[in-house]
Structures are given as C-alpha cells and as structure tokens.
A and B are shown apart, each in its own frame.
Chain A
Amino acid sequence: MTSLEDELRALGRSAAVPPVADGLAARVLERVAEPPVRRSFGAALRSRWRSLLALLAILLAGALVAEPVRAQVAEWLDIGGVEAVQVPSGPTTAPGAPEVVGDLTVAEAAKSAGFTPVVPKALGTPKHVQASAGFVAMSWRTATGVVRLEQFQAEPQPYYFKKYYSELEYVQSIDGYWFSTPHELVLVKKTGAEQTVRVAGPTLVWVRDGVTYRLEGVPEKDRAVELAR
C-alpha cells in the first residue's frame, strides 16, 4: 500500500525525458559571449527589488568597466516589459511626447488589449486612446504639452521596449524608475531586430500587477510619481 505521494514520485521517475541536446554548453557559451540582444530574465528581478537595487548600485557605482562578465550583467536592467541599457552618452534633446493616434473609448481599449487600463484621475478622460493585444496607449493635451501613458502586459512578446539612457533614478514609493534625460526608445522584435522608435524625453516607468507603465511628457519627477500612484 503506497501513498499517493509515493505513487506520484514513481510516476515522475517513470516519465520519459529525452537527453539534453548535444552541444548545449557550447551553444550557451557562444551566446553569452555576445552582447545581450534579447530580453533578459526580468521576472526574478521584478519580484526581488532588493536584487534590483543591488544591481542598480553596481550601475550607479559605474563599476561597469571591470570584468567582462560583470559588465555584461550590469549593462541591462529589466523593468517589466522595458529593458534599459546604459550608454556613455545619450541624446541631449527630445521632442515632446507624441500624441496617440486612435479614438477608442477606454472600455473599447480594454476589450482589445485584454486587460483593463488604468486612467490617472488627475488627468481626466484621455483625448486619444489606442490599443492592441496586451497594449494600450493614451494621451492628453495639457498646458505644458502632450502627456502620454503607455501600458502593456509586462512581457509584451514578441515586442519589448529598450531604452538607452545615461541616467536613471529608482523611485521607491512606486517601485519604478525615473529616466530624467532624453533617451532612445527602441522596439525589439521577436526576431531580435531592433527598430528605433524615437527619442523620448523624461519618462517614468513602473510595473504594477504584471502591467508595465511608461508615463511620458511630465517633466517633473514628483508630478509624474504623483500621477503614477
């Protein structure tokens, strides 16, 4: 008379798993020798912001120059569906945030995105809303220019955004990052091909409940953080 637990263990042992592919180690080594081109393992980082902070400390300490491996590890930073890569010098100016093209209602956007987007109360009803599976963008016209909020399910495969930045700041109250300087916004396709979208101005990026948010067009950090709450 064996217990159900034992039966399950026996079942696991009896299941056929073919051996690992030949040359796995060689292929892995080949790939890690190249600079990272695809999304890195973000989930673990996201769930442990402590590690993120540690990583950030390395970034900020500028300890990138030491050993090649450490440098590679420190060069990227995952924030939900956004991968950030530090570069020695970034663009110095950026045009204002572009307006969203699309006139969906928020409810319609929720339907095609497959999740319910958040609308910051302080900004009121967005002027334009656009959506596709897993992705919603909305914009407002304010006295100081266009404010644009993009939200997407944290891993918007096959795409994700990559930013090349020179400075960022961790914002503890919302567990997000403030990109204070203009940076290049790049879309990476599943094939690994990169497409420069545009240069973006100061942006706040944060993740909440599996959704990544990018808020652009609010040049003051405190105001942006307030809207993000």
Chain B
Amino acid sequence: MAPQRCSEGVGSEWEAGIGELGEAEILARVRGGETAAYGELVLMHASVAKRTAVFLGAGADADDVVQESFVKAFRALGSFRDGATFRPWLLRIVANETRNLMRSRGRRAKREELAVLPEAVLDPADEAADAERRAELLAAVRGLPEQYRLVVTCRYLLELDEQETATVLGWPRGTVKSRLHRALGRLRTQLPDREVQR
C-alpha cells in the first residue's frame, strides 16, 4: 500500500530514489569484483553519454568516445566517491574524452568545431517560423566562444543542473553561474529579440 501512495504523490522522486538505490547496489557489486554488473550501468547511462559526446563535438566518433569513457570510468572507479552520483562523474569523463578527441583532430578541429552541434531536427508539426528561429539559435550557440558554448550546451541543451554542469566541465559552481550569465547575455544581443515583442 505504502509504495502505491508514494508513487501517486511524488512519482518522479520515488522513481529517482529507486534508480539511485539500484545504481549504488550495482556499483557495490562491481567494486566487489562482479565485473559483469558493470554492463547494467553501461546500459543505464549509454544514451545520455552519447548525447553528451555528440553535443560537445564528438560527431561521428561519438560511439568510440562513449565506449572509451565507460572503460576509463571502470578503471577509475577507485576514485569514485561512495554516495556520489555516477552520471555527472561519467559525463565528466565523456567531456574530457571528447576534448581529447578534438585536440587530436588538430588543425581540422577549427573547421569541425563549427559543426559541433548536431542539426536540429525539424519537427514537421513545427511552424516554419519556429524552424527558422531554431536555426538562428543553433547558429548563435555555435558561434559562441568555447567556454560559453560549453556551459550553454551542458546547462540547457543537455539539461544538466548547475552542479552537474560544474562537475562535467570541472569548473567551480560560481564560474558556471557567471559564464552562463555572460553567455546568455551574448546570445540575447545576437538574436533578434522575441522575448520582448518589438
């Protein structure tokens, strides 16, 4: 009875609770030597890992980045703090791997950097105006200096919270806040303003 009442009242919270519990359990099993249990963690987080890799610029190499990140995360489990959340920690590895990849692409990177963000899929139901606005927005985000692009990408495009963004980018929380503020300011000045009708 109790669980049912819970699931009615605070559905998502309840589920999240189960998720974390399951995750901690899996981690404990992996650390206890049950390597195969790691496969469950991989399945649990693969899609957000890939999304992050793609958004941060891995492009066609995103699958390699994801695979490499999971392997590295496994090997670094010794440094993973008990009770911490696995996802931001993993995504930090993904972000680093993506950066390494981009760096190793060398001179090509400059050109490819412009293609960092995936094309927005145009929902057929969308109005043409929305599509246009999205394309503008995408171009504006692409054109931001790297730090701003990273913070906007993590915080809004990937919808990570502030703390997760800080963890993933390896910046202090205050830095995330201030850069985000400046990035949004820049986007506002570059985009034809829609928030205030002119």
**Considering the chains assembled together, what is the distance between the CA atoms of A44 and B43 in angstroms?**
23
15 A/B residue pairs, CB under 8 Å, sorted by A: A9-B159, A11-B134, A21-B63, A25-B42, A28-B70, A43-B96, A45-B79, A48-B79, A67-B31, A69-B30, A69-B77, A72-B75, A73-B77, A76-B75, A158-B104
Q: Confirm or deny: A150 has a beta carbon within 8 angstroms of a beta carbon on chain B.
A: no
Is A95 on the interface with B (CB-CB < 8 A)? no
B122 at the interface (CB under 8 A from A): yes
Residues on A facing B (Cβ under 8 Å): 1-5, 7-12, 14-21, 24-29, 31-33, 36, 40-41, 43-45, 47-48, 51-52, 54-55, 58, 66-70, 72-74, 76, 155, 157-158
Would you call A155 and B100 a contact (CB within 8 A)?
yes
- Which of A15, A19, A76 gathers most chain B CB within 10 Å? A15
Q: Which residues of B contact A48 (CB under 8 A)?
A: 79
Asked if residues B39 and A25 are in contact (CB atoms below 8 Å), the reply is: yes
For residue B104, which residues in chain A have a CB less than 8 angstroms away from its CB?
157-158
Chain B positions near chain A (C-beta within 8 angstroms): 30-36, 38-39, 42-43, 46-47, 49-51, 54-55, 62-63, 66-67, 70-79, 81, 89, 92-93, 96, 100, 103-104, 117-123, 133-134, 137-138, 141, 152, 156-159, 170, 184, 187-188, 191, 194-195, 197
A134–B93 alpha-carbon span in the complex (Å): 22
Given A14-B123, A33-B35, A44-B92, residue A8 in contact with residue B157 (CB < 8 A) = yes
A170 to B153, CA, bound (A): 37
* Cβ of A22 to closest chain B Cβ, rounded Å: 10
Contact call A52/B79, Cβ cutoff below 8 A? yes
Residues from chain B with a CB closer than 8 A to the CB of A68 are: 33, 35
In-complex Cβ contact of A11 among B47, B79, B103, B120 (8 A) = B120
**Chain B: CB-nearest residue to A27:** B67
Contact A24 B42 (CB under 8 A): yes
For B35, give its contact among A10, A14, A20, A29 (CB under 8 Å): A29
Q: How far is the CB of A21 from chain B (nearest CB, A)?
A: 4
CA distance A153 to B123 in the complex (A): 45
Is the beta-carbon distance between A4 and B92 smaller than 8 angstroms? no
- Do A12 and B184 touch across chains, with their CB atoms under 8 A apart? no
Q: How many Å from the CB of A15 to the closest CB on chain B?
A: 5
B contact patch SS: helix
B120 touches A15 (CB 8 A): yes
Q: Give the residue name and chain of the B residue nearest to A36 (CB).
A: B75
> B156 touching A17 by the CB < 8 A rule?
no
The docked-state distance in angstroms from the alpha carbon of A20 to that of B70 is 13
CB <8 Å contact, A40 and B72: yes
Nearest B residue to A9 via CB reads: B156
Interchain CB contact under 8 A, B67 and A28: yes
Chain B residues lying within 8 Å of A28, measured Cβ to Cβ, are 38-39, 42, 67, 70-71, 74
Whose C-beta in chain B lies nearest to the C-beta of A33? B35
Give the CA-CA distance A69 to B30 in the complex, in Å: 7
Distance, CA A26 to CA B39, complexed state (A): 7
> Do the beta carbons of A73 and B156 come within 8 Å of each other?
no
Expressed in whole angstroms, the Cα–Cα distance for A169 and B143 within the complex equals 46
- Tell me the nearest residue of chain A to B63, going by C-beta: A21
Give complex CA distance A47, B79 in Å.
11
The reply to whether B121 and A20 form a contact with Cβ atoms under 8 Å apart is: no
**Bound-complex Cα distance A45 to B72 (A):** 12
Judging by beta carbons under 8 Å apart, are B141 and A8 in contact? yes
| B81 partner residues in chain A, CB cutoff 8 A | 51
**Complex: A76 Cα to B77 Cα, angstroms:** 12
Q: Evaluate contact between B72 and A3: CB separation under 8 angstroms.
A: no
Beyond A11-B138, A17-B118, A45-B79, list 20 extra A-B contacts (CB 8 Å): A1-B194, A2-B194, A10-B134, A11-B157, A12-B158, A15-B121, A17-B54, A17-B62, A24-B67, A25-B39, A28-B39, A29-B36, A29-B38, A29-B39, A33-B35, A44-B79, A48-B79, A67-B31, A76-B75, A157-B100
